[in-house]
Structure 1
Amino acid sequence: MTGVPWVPSACTLPTVDRPLREAEFDALFVHDVIGVEDAPEGVRLELRAETDVVARAAELAVRETSCCSFFRFELSIAHGNTTMLVSAVPDHADVLDALADRARSLVG
């Protein structure tokens, strides 16, 4: 994730692993996210409602919070819709905005 504006210095992921994590998020945005919308508390990603997509998104969220503890990910499965709400502590609102912009640019 070197050179990516949504990777702050607070991230504890080793620098060598950052491009791999960036690629994982990009793959999620390209293949599994079907919508991106602002929410009062962050950004809501609408995911394809498939078991493997939910599992991948959850696993990625768990790993991301282990290195960037300022992020919060909430998966919701209700009424045939699957969403992931991504939020961050106020000090990292710019990082959240950059992640949302990246998602919007890649969602097909």
Structure 2
Amino acid sequence: MTSEALGGSWVPEACTLPTAEQPLRVAEFDGLFAEGLLGVERQGPTELELVLKASCEVVARELVARESECCSFFGFVFSGGDDGELRLRVSVPVARVDVLDGLAARAAGVLA
């Protein structure tokens, strides 16, 4: 698996999503980040919190539900934040930290 920040893929080899669909899923995350990402906060090696615009909640929930189907190691928890923000906590097991690193780098790249 590669986890290059912006040029490569952070999709793990264990992903059950058909290979041809993987770039489309990455593009969906990129779209969510471009549309509504307000912040990225690393909570620890295996946890990341994404701060999103509340207006992106439906899209975010639908996307992570589909992502959970192909990469069941992800944990996703939504909560409300201050000022109507939506917080999405993403967790992975230690063996999948490289995937979380790639997702974090991709999100941070949008904010840069």
Q: TM-score, length-normalised on structure 2?
A: 0.85
Match of 1:47 in 2: 52
What letter matches 1:77 in structure 2?
A: G
For structure 2, the residue ranges without an aligned partner over 5 or more in a row are none
Counterparts in 2 of 1:23-62, with a 5 A limit? 23-40=27-44, 41-50=46-55, 53-62=56-65
Quote the RMSD (CA, aligned, Å). Answer: 1.8
Equivalent residue pairs, number:
105
Note the C-alpha offset of 1:5: 3.6
Q: For residues 37-85 of structure 1, give each alpha carbon's deviation from its aligned partner in whole angstroms, at most 9, with x where no partner exists.
A: 11135111100022xx101000000000100011111110144331101
Aligned counterpart for 1:95 among listed residues 86, 93, 99: 99
Give the alignment's TM-score, normalised by structure 1: 0.88
Identity of aligned residues (%): 47
Aligned to 1:12, which of 16, 19, 44?
Answer: 16
Q: Measure the CA separation in 2 of the matches of 1:107 and 1:18.
A: 23
Aligned counterparts, 1:62-77, within 5 A: 62-77=65-80
Q: What is the rounded CA distance, in whole Å, between the counterparts of 1:56 and 1:65 in structure 2?
A: 14
